[in-house]
């Protein structure tokens, strides 16, 4: 007799007491993200059939052209989280400023803020490559009952209470952590239910995949160049395999399952790095550490960085612990020359 698969809803209820604050609000918040993800997944899966791919004609705060699905996903996540009156504020990579949310009675009683990249890697939609949603959840630090302020969003990653991503690919998965390991749930599209398919996900300590856009090699710092040469050298278990999709969620997801390192360093074009600390760096770092991996800016632990602004950028090295350690070693050696 086959074992009954556990649904995401059952898993959340069963593990609610493990949440830092077991009032039920965090459970309802994860459920809201699950619902919005199903709606977005439906649009992503039919993107080639309708006029929803390609550029929307606007640019976001980063100066990047917004894709139509970017805008759609952003609206759906904000709408779902707002309507359910679970969060007091939302910050999105697609919005210049954070959004303050108040309840039906014009109160500000909710305790959580959500920061998100609603559709990471959306430029890949037109070529049928996997994309994803990344989210990060914090408890507010300002008094309950007052409107949120910037202080509620500019928290270091080590204060996250939950983080996760949804990957829209050959199958759709929701992967998340509340600080008690990482679990992955796969959507059964026939009935719209997520089932626990990847319990207790882990990075191996070592891996043989390095993921970096080598087209930017000439612009990288010397330490990063040296590490890439190390990955390519024929010695021991090397050369490593180069695998780079250009969709952060997809690259991290693959490397967590197979073992590897993801690299998006600073460069002459992006001296502060390109990935966003709040919407990409912190949530992926939380997931990586909970899965036994490591995330760094090349020198510091990502989750110890105190954010200074909503759309702050950061160099990002994330994956199997020994591989990130080795990359840091090359970076430090080059700086000390």
Q: Please tell me whether 24 is known to bind a ligand.
A: no
The answer on whether 280 is annotated among ligand-binding residues is yes
Q: Which residues contact 316 (CB under 8 A, 6 or more apart)?
A: 262, 263, 264, 265, 273, 275, 280, 281, 284, 295, 297, 302
Residue 31 annotated in ligand binding: no
Q: CA-to-CA distance for 124 and 127, rounded, in angstroms?
A: 6
Confirm or deny that 310 is annotated as ligand binding: no
Establish whether 107 is an annotated binding residue. no
Q: Tell me how many degrees the CA angle 168-172-175 measures, rounded to the nearest 5.
A: 95
Residue 239 near residue 233, CB atoms below 8 Å: yes
Q: What are the distances in angstroms from CA 79 to CA 32, 33, 35, 86, 305?
A: 10, 11, 11, 12, 30
274 is in an annotated binding site: yes
Write out the two tokens for 44.
Answer: 């992503």
Instruction: Give the tokens for residue 285.
Output: 């770092």
Q: What is 72-126 written as a DSSP string?
A: HHHHHHHHHHHHTT-EEEEEETT-SS-EE---TTS-----EEEEEEEEETGGGGG
Find out whether 158 is annotated in a ligand binding site.
no
According to the annotation, is 120 in a ligand binding site? yes
49 labeled binding residue: no
312 is in an annotated binding site: no
Could you tell me which residues are annotated as the binding site for substrate? 120-123, 213, 244, 274
Could you tell me which residues are annotated as the binding site for Mg(2+)? 93, 117, 119-120, 280
Could you tell me which residues are annotated as the binding site? 93, 117, 119-123, 213, 244, 274, 280
């Amino acid at each position: 007799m086959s074992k009954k698969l556990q649904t995401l809803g059952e898993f959340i209820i069963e593990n609610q007491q493990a949440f830092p604050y077991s009032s039920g609000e965090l459970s309802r918040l994860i459920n809201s993200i699950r619902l919005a993800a199903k709606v977005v997944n439906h649009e992503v899966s039919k993107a080639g059939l309708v006029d929803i791919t390609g550029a929307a004609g606007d640019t976001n705060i980063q100066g990047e052209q917004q894709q139509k699905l970017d805008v759609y996903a952003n609206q759906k996540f904000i709408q779902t989280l707002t309507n359910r009156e679970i969060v007091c504020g939302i910050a999105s990579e697609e919005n210049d400023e954070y959004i303050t949310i108040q309840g039906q009675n014009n109160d500000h009683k909710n305790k959580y803020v959500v920061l998100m990249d609603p559709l990471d890697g959306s430029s890949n939609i037109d070529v049928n490559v996997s994309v994803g949603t990344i989210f990060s959840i914090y408890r507010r630090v300002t008094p309950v009952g007052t409107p949120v302020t910037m202080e509620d969003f500019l928290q270091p990653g080590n204060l996250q209470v939950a983080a996760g991503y949804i990957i829209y690919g050959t199958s759709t998965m929701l992967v998340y952590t509340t600080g008690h390991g990482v679990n992955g749930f796969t959507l059964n599209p026939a009935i719209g239910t997520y089932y626990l398919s990847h319990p207790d996900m882990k990075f191996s300590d070592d891996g043989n995949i390095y993921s970096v856009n080598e087209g930017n090699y000439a612009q990288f710092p010397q330490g990063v160049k040296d590490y890439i040469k190390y990955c390519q050298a024929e010695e021991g278990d090397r050369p490593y395999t180069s695998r780079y999709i250009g969709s952060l969620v997809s690259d991290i997801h693959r490397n967590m399952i197979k073992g590897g390192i993801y690299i998006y360093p600073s460069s002459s074009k992006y001296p502060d790095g390109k990935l966003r600390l709040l919407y990409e760096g912190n949530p992926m770092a939380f997931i990586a550490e909970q899965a036994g991996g490591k995330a760094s800016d090349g020198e510091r632990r990502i989750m110890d960085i105190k954010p200074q602004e909503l759309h702050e950028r950061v160099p990002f090295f994330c994956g199997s612990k020994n591989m990130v350690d080795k990359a840091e070693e090359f970076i430090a050696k080059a700086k000390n020359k």
